[in-house]
């Protein structure tokens, strides 16, 4: 697959598929008293430097005053913080936000996300609510909205409509359309995929130059996605304000950092996603950190353990780390960004990994913290945040210990405030714990009927099942695709039976992971995990038009990405038996759904299934 620094097609698609499984609503943070509060005795990292034992008085959502032994009225609530460190709320300078991303972010101390491409249907209402003073229980969103890419180029593969362009003459209208939609800055893709062994269309340098000029005419910043050193140099020289990602195709040339410095660009390396691109699941260590793990959903945990498979061994995240060291020496601003929720990352939590990797690259802990606070505030002209100073927003993060010496201490979170309102981390944690318990409990009890093993023989003339939820149509339309599917009871089943389930439809090529077919779930509703581990195989009979089809199995531990096996439906009934273990090694203890689907090959399809068993 192509350099997928946005969200893999699979993830974006199945994410949508899974939206109705998102966390139960939790309570918004409780408001501070009208006279605010004072945080006493913490070490302060103010966005630039460290101050010992300084008090910070918050009132009306802003920092009112700070100082040693600060005098405040007696009715001002006191937060004792001696031994801890108070930081500006963290800023993640590269994410893709939708769903409950921004809530997750705030729980982990990220109070601002700089989104680098999302669906404007998410961006617009979110920014509107934020401007109205709502959304205090979630990170603030700034967003590029849509991105600039060529038809069929990187960014078009996710099922989100992208207005593409092909020539310099379209640049000003394209930029103006983004501004009308509410984009805060402009994101451009320059990536023909060759660093990753692929080929896909990309914008010409002439069009990129015209886009940069068009954005600058409207006083908008431009961030450009690159994946090679050659492209990075080209866009810097074309006037880009910032780089999204560093290159992993080569060690930095001796002049790279000086070119960046001479052109006053900022750089968002996104080391955590680059490490995952290099086949290392960058987020795996976060999932076993007791300070973080209780706040991770099952989906987050599963995604943090993923990496991008099958990319050329020549690419290396180490090149990006070397480049960070060069940029530091050349005084080029480096900003912390994660590219969540790509494989190996998750919203909020991954900033802590990015900070660790920036330090591994040679930044001091204070420089790494600057990269997640004042540096992005300066780069993106966010004058109200990123520092702790009188008059600034009370977006704050209190941790135990001293992250200005040990960067891992950012994980030991005590409290997070946005506009002086404390995030209700306890309720968030409790909701996650409950969801995990419910899932475990549901997975423990296999429903009646599992022992007998028969799911459906369709002999009663309906698409029902002996246990669980009967068969239903599932298509990629929920992920923005156009594939269609129908099912009906056909005459003449396998083994001399009277009926079978016939599935027909059309796979549309709009999505690379296109699907249409039928879904069955063993629980009381789809995606409730059920323990089927007393059985070892899924078996069924099939016949059809000779095409290749897929069995998809969703498990709780596999997160939102299904495991799959293929089968061929030929002219005669044939028995297919697939062990659970062939679906990414599952033992079947937490199965949420099983699907028989056509796709991703496009066109009409027609197959039948019958006598679906667990044995
Ligand atoms: Zn991205």
Q: What is the pLDDT of residues 380-397, one digit of tens each?
A: 999 999 999 999 999 999
Report how far ligand 1's centroid is from the alpha carbon of 270 (Å).
9
> Average pLDDT in the 132-149 region?
96
For residues 396 and 29, is the Cβ–Cβ distance under 8 A? no
> Average pLDDT in the 19-31 region?
35
pLDDT recorded at residue 480: 79
Report how far ligand 1's centroid is from the alpha carbon of 63 (Å).
32
Torsion angles phi and psi, residue 444, rounded to 5: -75, -35
- The full DSSP string for 337-357 is ---BTSTT--TTTHHHHHHHH
Report how far ligand 1's centroid is from the alpha carbon of 98 (Å).
13
Report how far ligand 1's centroid is from the alpha carbon of 418 (Å).
25
pLDDT over 70 (residue 107): yes
pLDDT recorded at residue 444: 66
Report how far ligand 1's centroid is from the alpha carbon of 245 (Å).
8
Report how far ligand 1's centroid is from the alpha carbon of 156 (Å).
13
> Average pLDDT in the 280-304 region?
94
User: Among residues 108, 35, 111, 100, which one has the least CA distance to residue 399?
Assistant: 108
Report how far ligand 1's centroid is from the alpha carbon of 162 (Å).
15
> Average pLDDT in the 598-611 region?
94
pLDDT over 80 (residue 446): no
pLDDT over 70 (residue 25): no
pLDDT recorded at residue 375: 98
H helices of 184-316, where? 205-217, 229-237, 256-262, 271-277, 298-304
For residues 56 and 66, is the Cβ–Cβ distance under 8 A? yes
> Average pLDDT in the 49-66 region?
96
Query: Kind of pairing, strands 469-475 and 516-521?
Result: antiparallel
Report how far ligand 1's centroid is from the alpha carbon of 339 (Å).
5
> Average pLDDT in the 351-359 region?
98
Chain segment 506-529, per-residue pLDDT in tens = 999 877 778 999 999 998 888 888
> Average pLDDT in the 124-129 region?
97
In sequence order, which residues have a C-beta less than 8 Å from that of residue 441 and are 6 or more positions away?
none
Report how far ligand 1's centroid is from the alpha carbon of 6 (Å).
4
State what percent of residues in the chain have pLDDT above 90.
78
pLDDT recorded at residue 347: 98
> Average pLDDT in the 458-477 region?
93
pLDDT recorded at residue 15: 38
Provide the CA 64 distance to its chain's centre, in angstroms. 35
**Which token pair is 249?**
């195709």
> Average pLDDT in the 346-373 region?
98
In sequence order, which residues have a C-beta less than 8 Å from that of residue 447 and are 6 or more positions away?
467, 468, 522, 523, 530
pLDDT recorded at residue 383: 97
Report how far ligand 1's centroid is from the alpha carbon of 244 (Å).
8
Phi-psi region of 113 (alpha: psi -120 to 50; beta: other; left: phi over 0): beta
pLDDT over 90 (residue 20): no
**What is the C-alpha to C-alpha distance for residues 304 and 11, in angstroms, rounded to an integer?**
12
DSSP annotation of 25: P
Report how far ligand 1's centroid is from the alpha carbon of 505 (Å).
34
- The full DSSP string for 109-150 is TEEEEEESS--HHHHHHHHHHHHTT--TTS-EEEE--S-B--
Report how far ligand 1's centroid is from the alpha carbon of 337 (Å).
9
Report how far ligand 1's centroid is from the alpha carbon of 163 (Å).
17
Residue 590: band (very low, low, confident or very high) from pLDDT cuts 50, 70, 90: confident
**What is the C-alpha to C-alpha distance for residues 273 and 254, in angstroms, rounded to an integer?**
25
Helix (H) or strand (E) holding 366: helix 365-371
Report how far ligand 1's centroid is from the alpha carbon of 187 (Å).
10
Report how far ligand 1's centroid is from the alpha carbon of 95 (Å).
6
- The full DSSP string for 206-228 is HHHHHHHHHHHHTT--EEEE--S
Report how far ligand 1's centroid is from the alpha carbon of 247 (Å).
14
Report how far ligand 1's centroid is from the alpha carbon of 410 (Å).
23
- Name residue 500's beta-bridge partners: 490
Residue 34: band (very low, low, confident or very high) from pLDDT cuts 50, 70, 90: low
> Average pLDDT in the 271-296 region?
95
Q: Which residues surround ligand 1, an ion (CB under 5 A)?
A: 5-6, 116, 339
Chain segment 73-101, per-residue pLDDT in tens = 999 999 999 999 999 999 999 999 999 99
> Average pLDDT in the 430-459 region?
85
CA dihedral 531, 536, 538, 541 (to 10 degrees): -150
Mean pLDDT of the chain: 91
Residue 35: band (very low, low, confident or very high) from pLDDT cuts 50, 70, 90: low
């Amino acid at each position: 697959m192509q350099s997928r620094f946005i969200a893999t097609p699979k993830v974006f698609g199945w994410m949508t598929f899974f939206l109705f499984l998102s966390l139960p609503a939790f309570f918004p943070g409780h408001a501070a008293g009208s006279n605010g509060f004072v945080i006493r005795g913490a070490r302060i990292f103010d966005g630039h430097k460290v101050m010992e034992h300084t008090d910070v008085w918050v009132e009306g959502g802003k920092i009112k005053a700070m100082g040693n032994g600060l005098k405040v009225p007696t009715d001002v609530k006191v937060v004792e913080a001696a031994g801890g460190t108070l930081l500006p709320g963290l800023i993640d300078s590269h994410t893709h936000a939708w769903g409950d991303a921004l809530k997750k972010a705030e729980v982990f101390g990220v109070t601002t996300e700089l989104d680098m491409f999302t669906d404007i249907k998410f961006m617009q209402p979110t920014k509107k609510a934020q401007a109205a003073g709502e959304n205090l229980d979630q990170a603030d969103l700034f967003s590029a909205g849509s991105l600039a890419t060529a038809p069929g180029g990187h960014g078009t593969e996710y099922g989100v409509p992208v207005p593409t362009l092909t020539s310099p003459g379209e640049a000003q209208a394209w930029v103006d359309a983004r501004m009308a939609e509410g984009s805060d800055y402009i994101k451009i893709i320059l990536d023909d995929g060759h660093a990753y062994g692929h080929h896909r269309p990309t914008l010409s340098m002439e069009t990129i130059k015209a886009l940069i000029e068009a954005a600058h005419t409207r006083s908008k910043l431009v961030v450009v996605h690159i994946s090679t050193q050659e492209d990075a140099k080209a866009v810097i020289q074309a006037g880009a304000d910032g780089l999204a990602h560093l290159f992993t195709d080569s060690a930095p040339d001796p002049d790279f950092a000086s070119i960046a410095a001479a052109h006053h660009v900022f750089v968002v390396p996104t080391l955590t996603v680059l490490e995952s691109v290099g086949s290392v699941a960058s987020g795996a260590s976060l999932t076993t950190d007791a300070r973080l793990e209780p706040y991770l959903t099952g989906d987050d945990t599963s995604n943090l353990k993923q990496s991008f498979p099958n990319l050329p061994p020549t690419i290396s995240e180490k090149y990006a780390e070397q480049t960070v060291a060069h940029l530091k020496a050349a005084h080029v601003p480096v900003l912390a960004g994660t590219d969540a929720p790509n494989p190996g990352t998750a919203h909020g939590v991954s900033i802590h990994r990015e900070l660790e990797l920036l330090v591994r690259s040679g930044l001091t802990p204070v420089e790494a913290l600057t990269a997640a606070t004042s540096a992005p505030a300066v780069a993106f002209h966010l004058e109200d945040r990123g520092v702790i100073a009188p008059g600034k927003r009370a977006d704050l993060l209190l941790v135990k210990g001293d992250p200005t010496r040990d960067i891992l201490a950012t994980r030991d979170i005590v409290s997070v405030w946005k506009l002086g309102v404390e995030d209700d981390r306890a309720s968030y944690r409790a909701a996650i714990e409950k969801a995990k318990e419910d899932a475990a409990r549901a997975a423990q009890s296999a429903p009646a009927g599992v022992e007998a093993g028969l799911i459906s023989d369709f002999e009663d003339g309906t698409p029902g099942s002996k246990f669980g939820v009967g068969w239903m149509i599932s298509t990629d339309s929920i992920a923005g695709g156009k594939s269609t599917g129908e099912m009906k009871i056909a005459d003449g089943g396998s083994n001399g039976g009277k009926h079978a389930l016939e599935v027909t439809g059309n796979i549309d090529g709009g999505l690379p992971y296109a699907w249409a077919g039928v879904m069955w779930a063993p629980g009381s509703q789809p995606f409730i995990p059920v323990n089927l581990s007393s059985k070892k195989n899924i078996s069924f009979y099939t016949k059809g038009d000779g095409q290749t089809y897929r069995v998809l199995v969703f498990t709780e531990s596999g997160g939102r990405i299904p495991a799959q096996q293929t089968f061929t439906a030929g002219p005669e009934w044939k028995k297919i038996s697939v062990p659970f273990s062939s679906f990414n090694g599952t033992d079947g203890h937490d199965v949420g759904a099983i699907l028989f689907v056509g796709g991703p090959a496009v066109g009409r399809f027609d197959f039948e299934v019958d006598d679906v068993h667990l044995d």
